[in-house]
Amino acid sequence: MQILIIDSYLGGSHKQWAEAIQHHSKHKVEILGLPSRHWKWRMEGGAIELAHMVNELDEKPDIILCTSMVDLPYLKSSLKVEFRNVPIMYYMHENQLTYPKSQHDTDLKEGRDFHYGFMQLKSCFLADKVVFNSEFHKTEFLNEAENLVRRLPDYKPMDQVQRLRNESEVLYVGIDQGIPNKKNEKPIFAWNHRWEYDKDPLSFFEVMQKLKKHGLDFGLVILGEERSGISKEIQAYKENLKDRILHWGYVNDRSDYYEKLSIANILPVTSKQEFFGISVMEAVQAGLVPLLPQRLVYPEHFGEGFIDLFYQEGELFSKLHWIVEDGRWTSFRDELIKHSNKYLWNSNIEHYDRCFESMLS
């Protein structure tokens, strides 16, 4: 079977996901994508170039796997005739109906607050199979889709939303085997997320600075891709915490990334949005103990047996201080690594392959 993966925004975790499927699947996988920049233009116009790229292929794929960055109605209508009957899976990495808007977002200022989400909803209606990266994501998107459809003036496609509830599936993003950390007794905190508002780096550094003021001895390993520049506030935190920093900067090489990550042992998470949380799962696989807000997708991943790792709004400082002073965090490490093994690609790819095969059977 030949699978064609198409992504308008092929970079970061999207590219990592696509290449992992290509590497692990028992089927032949080809990847077509565009550079990961100008995300709004990629959603609006990426399908124009992608349709041209697909039509240039000599061999017809058995299945097309599109991500949620692709305008599927345009893509499908622009394919050459012999490609139009290829079944299409639409994979929801994220969605624009519930993604938190930055205060600087021009669409938010101008009142266009559901345009891109509605593009994705129409793509879901057209796809032969819709797949989400978590149950949390599926529920959140479809609940908001139902709210949006109710607000439409007429011809409300509520039956289509219900069909998505009944027929869409969940396929977790896989992770690589990690390099277990060194079991340092000294707490070393890591940041391994994108440098963007939805991951809330300012809250992370505010807590780090507060811990320093309270005399806690700790180290810092700062990873993650810088997308929109480091703010002046973070530069000030960097200067203030320079005596605690063991590493600072994005690491592109995967083995080097895991080597740097394995220096740390605790992962304080401050995200405002998380549909799957690949950076968290990678850290857990590497032996880090996460401290997580009790919301978003995290209860789905760690809901049983790890209740001590959750904190409520405003509790991160006190929870971090307690878990370090108490020393209890060291007891979670091995159990968490074992728990995260079910997300490894070696285990996960079977679910993908079965889903591909079911589309043709």
2-174+345-360 and 188-343 share one CATH topology? yes
Which tens digits make up the pLDDT trace of 124-138? 999 999 999 999 999
Predicted TM-score (pTM) of the model is 0.92
As a whole number, mean pLDDT of residues 351-360 equals 97
For 318-326, the CB contacts below 8 A with 24+ separation are 319/291, 320/189, 320/207, 320/211, 320/266, 320/268, 320/291, 321/211, 321/214, 321/216, 323/266, 323/289, 323/291, 324/187, 324/216, 324/218, 324/266
CATH superfamily to which 188-343 belongs = Glycogen Phosphorylase B; (3.40.50.2000)
The predicted structure's pLDDT at residue 182: 67
139 or 333, greater pLDDT: 139
The predicted structure's pLDDT at residue 356: 98
How far is it, in rounded angstroms, from Cα 89 to Cα 220?
Answer: 41
The predicted structure's pLDDT at residue 228: 61
Which tens digits make up the pLDDT trace of 162-214? 999 999 999 999 999 877 776 677 899 999 998 888 999 999 999 999 999 99
The predicted structure's pLDDT at residue 233: 86
Confidence of residue 107 (pLDDT cuts 50, 70, 90): low
What's the topology of domain 2-174+345-360?
Rossmann fold (3.40.50)
Q: Is the dihedral of CA 277, 109, 34, 140 positive or negative?
A: positive
Give me the residue spans of the domains in the chain: 2-174+345-360, 188-343
